[in-house]
Chain A
Amino acid sequence: MRKLLLPLSAVVLVMGARDLHAQSRSISGRVVGSDGAKLPGVTVLVKGTSLGTATDVEGRYTLPAPAGATTLVFSFVGYTSQEARIGDGPVNITLEASTTSLDEAVVVGYGTQSRRDLTGSVATITGKEISNTPVQSFDQALQGRASGVSITTPNGVLNNPPVIRIRGANSIALSSSPLFVIDGIPTYSGNNSAVGSVPNNPLANIAPEDIENIEVLKDASATAIYGSRANGGVILVTTRRGKKGQARLSYDTWVGISKPIRLFDMLNAPEYVNIKNEAVRNLNANRLAATGTVGTNAQGFNLADAAGNAYDTRWYDYIYRTGVSQSHNLNFSGGTDKTTYLTSVGYTKQKGMLVRNDFRRFSVRANVEHKLFDRLTVGARVNYANSLNSSPNSGSVGDGAFGTAGLGRLPLVLPPNISPYNPDGTYNTNGAGLGAGPNINPTSTTGAALLPGYYNPVVDLDNNYFTSESNSLQGALYADLEVIKGLHLRTQYGIDNLNFEDKAYYTSLAGDGFSLGGQAIDYFRTNKRWNWQNTAQYDRSFGEHNLSLLAGNEQQYTEVQRWGANRTGVADPFFTTYQGNYLNIAAAGNSQGASYLASFFGRFTYNYAHKYLFTATGRRDGYSAWAQKFGNFYGLSAGYIVSEEGFWKNAGFAKAFDYLKVSGSFGTTGNNQGIYDFVSLPLYGSFLYGNSGTFYYTQGANQNITWEKSKKTDASIAFGFLDSRLTGDVTYYHNLVDGLILDVPQAPSRGIPGNSIPANVGSMRNRGFEFNLRYNVLQDKAFTWTVSGNLTTLNNEVLALLDDTQRIAGATSGLETANYTTVGRSIGSILAVPNAGVNPANGQRMLVRADGTRVQYNHLGTSGTGWTIVNADGSTGANTTSPTQLADGVYYGPVLPTWYGGFDNNFRYKGFDLGVFIQFSGGNYIYNGTKSGLHDQRFWNNSTDILNRWTEDNKNAEWPRVVFNDNVSNGSTIIMSQNVEKGDFARLRNVALGYTIPSKALSKLKLSSVRVYVQAQNLALVTKYSGIDPEISVNGGSNLAPGVDRNSVGQARTYTAGLNVSF
């Protein structure tokens, strides 16, 4: 967007140049950017005068300078201004791009503003910071890049949408995700795939290399213009455009490899057999003690089967791999006085660390703008992308945490003494599951084999597939007419059409498809949207009074449809696609939705001498889902640039402390993201009873439900020291979300469909500070060093729910409820029964009741429940009942990080550049459910720390005495604090070392710039968290069940090497 300002400054200065007195010598030269590209439109001024000019399309300038002139000043929006002494020859200069210059243009809703005049809270991330990163969608690369923006990568599956929370969780039942706007058109985000195993984030249809800038709108002043959709903040993406000047061809490429890290150390076969047989012996001892009869459970775990086949399988080896990825982006851009254009073609193919987790995208973009008449500009932006994501069942997305096919879980559960293959090379299966190998079921009375029930992952990986392919066409056509000077009428019509074909295939050999005789499911989904915006913008200055007025109308209609079918009973294993032949077919996944938003909005900005700043914004939205259609939203803000005052400018400290601005804002926004399109209508659904059609009640008329409303308050101080070498800001934010829509739980005995009714009943507050600091430590010509960092604090508290006693449960995959949301606590806090460790006297797990009583568990070790009271001296007391989470649990929270941020170091020495980026986060608790599984005493494998279990010889042990089939002591049955851990971490997210080949060497090759680099992602992680990754969320963006780690796969480490070439 900063390029839009270019023609203006050039025109002004060229006109100024006409008045020059032709009395002096002529100075000429050439201006290039730090990447070696020529820079047209750079302002060149003779210092201390108003004499100046602008560079031409080749970056050249010629300037008649007065005899006494000694210095030239070069300035250009988006670049650091530079001075140069006038010598004898041409004055050639290289300008450094500045990323957060105070004067850069900032994209705001329906327009731009200069950062200096801005009173709202807007963070800018340049495309440069995120391009060349091995991600599938740009939002995955935003971690730690902007204050106030918390981004969690929920797992290591490709194209999984990151969880984005701007200034905390802004909703409970709806989505807290920000609104994404691409070049002015709101787009789709979140997982749109119908197949649980494979995620599909529509934002992956934008090639990161096509992005010029990303702005994050955070406070009410900045977001109110988006009104009812802005509670979670707004992320504006501006794609790259052509620049005036000679045509330019660039090619960016990288190749990389991804590997898993921090995998758990699991027991090998001999250790497994020992531990499990010990558990059986302990079970027998328990049975004898409890019933007086000798337990007859067999020590059925064996290293080799009767035929002598012995295996020591590391299941990880079949599931993880080193994935090779590549990316290519070719773009061609340029422009004349009238027309600018940019076209780009991109291709990326990425292979994840999980076998069969592959992503590829093919994208084409064309951005064109043409000045039709003097006052009429027309333009178009079109992006087409085809992306295909395939993933095995990782158990990490789509409620799959407890699936018997989940690849996050299988290597933790499956016995190491079983091989995935039979000795003859065939798959080792029994029915749907993995074969028993040498293990005999200890509790069987007939010596039956111990069938794991879990699937053989090799069968699934070899035969099943899950894919989500999308075709995205995003485009907009716009026209801008300057009716009178300063008054722009603009109309923009955009479409955002996206379709998905989601496929699942399950072999009949084993696994999920076994009992179905093989299965193929195909879904087709279309998202269709049109968006029409009409705005009138008037900018005018009267003396020192600068004002800007915007009025507009926006309409948006969105229709989502999906249909599909499920075919089972494959006629022959030859058929591996949906189109093959099957015995049965049933409809699957049909759905339909439509919504319409009609809006009127306005913005008034005023400043006096760029010193006193004021902005008022209002929006009136009408939304089809509500019974009462319309709602109003507004934002007010004011700022004062103290350093613009005369007293400041003339003060002695002005050189050292050159910039100070205070600003504040207040306003309201709304949220409807995730609400059902027809939530206010009384409806009946239809299904089948055998072969007859049915109608049944699905929901009552919900007349009162409306937007969740946020009251956002901001206060900010921005400063610049040492000629703005050190800049920064501190912001306090306070966001009160009222009228939270809660799926108010209904007593299941009422029989309300879904056992809940949405209503605007809750209230929640997020508050905290944001700090940004940027320091150009060294600005030597040869060596530069820039440090920047940001830190955000967050205090989240639920203020009101239906009533003060309400506890809203958040379940993981519908099976395990660790999180409860209650009044007075942070959202989704973990409720766990306190752990009192292992009783040294008998090796039993001890938990603490709400009344302080310690109780201990001995699996099948008493005639009752197995629970007994622990006397003060550690001896065993009376039989008792099991402690329960609801009665005895203690809250651990918050589960959202209370502090997070990023720390970026950029070094440049001659042609070399080095970037070191650290992301950090903490203050939160994680429910590490995986840990309970890792120590479960069913036949499941355990992590090696189980070797430190209680035995007669090891009484001060970390883990309880192992008893076969005990799934209570380590947390699989009762949520216990043993598995609640702090989630603090610092991650070396990105290290990039590049070398830009000197332009002298290139000119012979007709190249304008070449940079080669190597890069490592996720190179190091510092954390005390014992799970696979502290940045994890098995429930994705769920607000009610965040911070849960259950059988998920962690993040990969990726190394890439790349090349950027321009011709």
Chain B
Amino acid sequence: MTYSFRKRVAAMACTALLGLGTFSCQNDLLNVKPVTLLDANLAFDTPSRVLAQVNGLYSYVKVGGFLGGRYQIYGDIRANDFINRTSNSVTGLAVWNHTLAETSANDVVSVWGNAYAAINQVNIFLAGLDANADKFKTSTFTSVYPNGFEPTAINYRAEARLLRALCYYSLLQLYARPYIDGNGSRPGLPLRLAAETGLGNNNLARSTVAQVYDQILLDLNFAEQNLPLRYSATQGGAAVSTLNVTRAHRNTAIALKSRVYLTMGRYADVVTEANKLVPTAAPYVTTAGVANGLNSSITAVFTAPQETSESILAFPFSAQDPPGTQNQLAFYYLPASLGGGGEYGLNTATGGIYASTAFLSTDVRRTSFIAPVTTVTNGVSRTEYFLSKYPTGSPFTDKAPVIRYSEVMLSLAEALARNTNTVDSRALALLNAVRMRSNPAIAASGTTPAIPSPMFVATDFASVNAFIDAILLERRIEFLGEGIRNIDLMRLTATIPAKGTVSAIPSTAANYVWPIPSTELSTNNAMTRN
């Protein structure tokens, strides 16, 4: 090894090191980007991305912790038709026994957070539509958007606003006093209508209940005017029959309005809205838009894929997009033997709907949707009863119902009765239509005696109130497990009945409505407690 060779090696190595190493810094690596997340600046670049965002809004509203399951569950278990079987605070124990605290994570904190997360997604989307409006114009010659996209964008805007209205409405039912308590003058919700993306803006006071309802109606009216009448072509991989149930169309906005007005006690408006969907006489099928109507069989309505025309809006799940652990409707209500978690069984004691004499033993909704489970423990046999309306166990793909045609009918019936203060004949017909489809008269056969028709006649009711009570009872039977019960109690400031060791909650009690979550109170200085 000669010295000069060593020197040359040294010089070469030295140059190589300085050249390659010391001064290198690779700019492309310094700006490395993700491959699974989309740059926000590209989110409105193609029609399919805008559509995907619309679907994204729905997916936010239907998360398992909100309208994909838990919201509906809480609406039922607050009242007295179900008994908590597992004492598990993660699965609604504190909702059931009214011991919620402002820190209760899985209900008070979670529902609020999920609803507002969806609301902000809507607001961001609406802001994005505004910012990119020029791209949608047909005259833009470089646009990747097809001609005619502009009205489609308006359809999307209407869907977004309908979802926002649904979120605000759902929040009001848990976190605010009922509208009739002071005609909406009580504290409502912070009304967030602008896109929130950066720091700041934490403080926002509660609008009144009435102001929030005003915004809900503003959004729903816009939706009614701008939603498509129906879906007629597949979109984003979903079939037309699916789209008409899982995406909003004009009937959806109208149906929701009928519920909102009923909740506010504006019965004349209920009649106006419901009349747009419900003909004056049978058959009860909407003539405009999607042919929503009363299906002849209630069991068909809840048979997968739950896409009959009676379902005006319901949220879909798939094995790839399941509701998530301990959020699934079927998990809560189905007994273990049918693939559920048996979290809640039916309250068989007096007061519960199971024991109601109005809920006939032959009612299809009892014979098809209530599953008795007999267990023999230590030689003692006991039977418990479970709701099996949501029949599908893992991966729990039953749709989460939002609103059905029969609800519009019963809302109309109630509004007619209250408006006319009579046992209105059309109202009676509507009540009977819903009731009788599940209670057909059965002729005698062989030794089995005939079962007479349980159809109501006007003389069955001693008073208008008795008639209205019958409608309310029918709603309990019809919508058991669909989250309507809490709405029906609170809109009338009715006492939440007692069950087991849990006392009744009068409408004057502090825990009649949920507490405002501590997460909001600790960050939003303008927020006030319930």
Contact = CB atoms under 8 A, between A and B. Distances in A.
Interface of A: 283, 287, 291, 295, 297, 305-307, 309, 373-376, 402, 404, 430-433, 435-436, 438, 443-449, 451, 453, 479, 481, 483, 489, 491, 514-517, 532-534, 536, 551-553, 555, 557, 568-569, 584-587, 590-596, 598, 600, 622-624, 629, 677-678, 681-698, 700-701, 744-753, 755, 757, 759, 807, 809, 811, 814-815, 817, 860, 863, 881-882, 884-886, 938-939, 965, 973
A747 B523 contact: yes
Given A568-B395, A690-B316, A884-B102, A698 B378 contact: no
Contacts of B40: 681-684, 697, 700-701
B129 to A, nearest CB: 13
A553 B35 contact: no
Interface in B19-53: 20-26, 29-41, 43, 49, 52-53
- For A297, A533, A553, A684, the residue with the greatest tally of chain B CB atoms inside 10 Å of its CB is A684
Contacts of B117: 748, 751, 753
A684 B43 contact: yes
26 contacts: A287-B501, A305-B377, A483-B10, A515-B336, A516-B394, A552-B22, A553-B23, A585-B319, A593-B34, A595-B32, A598-B29, A629-B30, A683-B38, A686-B56, A690-B318, A697-B43, A697-B125, A747-B204, A748-B109, A751-B123, A757-B198, A807-B522, A815-B90, A863-B503, A881-B510, A884-B102
A577 B202 CA distance: 49
A553 B24 CA distance: 8
A120 to B, nearest CB: 24
A748 B112 CA distance: 7
Given A553-B21, A594-B32, A748-B520, A587 B320 contact: yes
A886 B518 contact: yes
Contacts, number: 336
Contacts of B519: 745, 748, 755, 809
Nearest to A491: B17
Q: Which 10 residue pairs across A and B have the least CB separation, nearest first?
A: A751-B120, A431-B336, A534-B21, A690-B316, A305-B378, A682-B40, A694-B56, A696-B56, A692-B236, A596-B29
B113 A491 contact: no
A306 B238 contact: no
Contacts of B41: 682
Contact of B14 (A483, A584, A886): A483
Interface stretch (B81-89, B177-185, B287-295): B81-89
B336 A814 contact: no
Interface stretch (B339-347, B435-443, B457-465): B339-347
B88 A586 contact: no
A307 B378 contact: yes
A65 B527 CA distance: 91
A860 B99 CA distance: 11
Interface string B499-516: 011010000001000000
Contacts of A701: 40
Given A629-B30, A689-B55, A755-B113, A885 B336 contact: no
Interface stretch (B58-66, B212-220, B444-452): B58-66
Contacts of B125: 697
Contact of B341 (A305, A432, A551, A698): A432
Contacts of A517: 339, 393-394
Interface in B209-239: 235-238
A83 to B, nearest CB: 42
B148 interface: no
A913 B114 CA distance: 63
B394 A584 contact: yes
Interface string B58-82: 1110100000000000000000000
B204 A376 contact: no
Nearest to A695: B52
B56 A690 contact: no
A446 B347 CA distance: 10
A830 to B, nearest CB: 15
B372 interface: no
Given A430-B375, A534-B17, A752 B55 contact: no
A691 B25 CA distance: 44
Interface in B295-332: 315-322, 331
B179 to A, nearest CB: 20
Given A307-B378, A555-B24, A586-B322, A746 B348 contact: no
Interface in B105-140: 105-106, 109, 112-113, 116-121, 123-125
B320 A688 contact: yes
Contact of A751 (B13, B88, B196): B196
Interface stretch (B270-278, B379-387, B404-412, B480-488): B379-387
- For B32, B62, B189, B201, the residue with the greatest tally of chain A CB atoms inside 10 Å of its CB is B32
Given A598-B26, A696-B121, A624 B32 contact: yes
A886 B527 CA distance: 15
Contacts of B379: 305-307
A687 B64 CA distance: 14
Contact of B56 (A585, A586, A587, A689): A689
B335 to A, nearest CB: 8
Given A307-B379, A624-B32, 7 more contacts: A287-B501, A515-B394, A593-B34, A690-B321, A692-B237, A749-B112, A882-B101
A590 B36 contact: yes
Given A376-B9, A693-B236, A687 B31 contact: no
A283 B118 CA distance: 43
Contact of A598 (B13, B25, B101, B523): B25
Contact of B37 (A555, A594, A698, A745): A698
Contacts of A698: 37
A306 B380 contact: yes
Nearest to B345: A448
B22 A534 contact: yes
A555 B377 contact: no
B198 A700 contact: yes
Given A287-B501, A432-B336, A697-B197, A751 B190 contact: no
Contacts of A681: 33-34, 37, 39-40
B242 interface: yes
Contacts of B23: 553
Contact of A449 (B102, B197, B348, B377): B377
Contacts of A402: 90
Contact of A438 (B13, B62, B378): B378
B53 to A, nearest CB: 5
- For B35, B242, B377, the residue with the greatest tally of chain A CB atoms inside 10 Å of its CB is B377
Interface string B329-373: 001000111011110000011000000000000000000000000
Contacts of B58: 689, 694
Nearest to B191: A749
Contacts of A445: 348-349, 500
Interface in B167-192: 189-190, 192
B286 interface: no
Contacts of A569: 394-395
- For B56, B384, B521, the residue with the greatest tally of chain A CB atoms inside 10 Å of its CB is B56
A779 B400 CA distance: 80
A309 to B, nearest CB: 7
Nearest to A481: B13
Contact of B38 (A431, A695, A811, A881): A695
Contacts of A592: 34-36
Contact of A374 (B6, B236, B527): B6
A811 B394 CA distance: 30
Contacts of A860: 501, 503
A230 B59 CA distance: 42
A692 B523 contact: no
Contacts of B101: 882, 884, 973
A750 B201 contact: yes
Contacts of B320: 586-587, 688, 691
A750 B6 contact: no
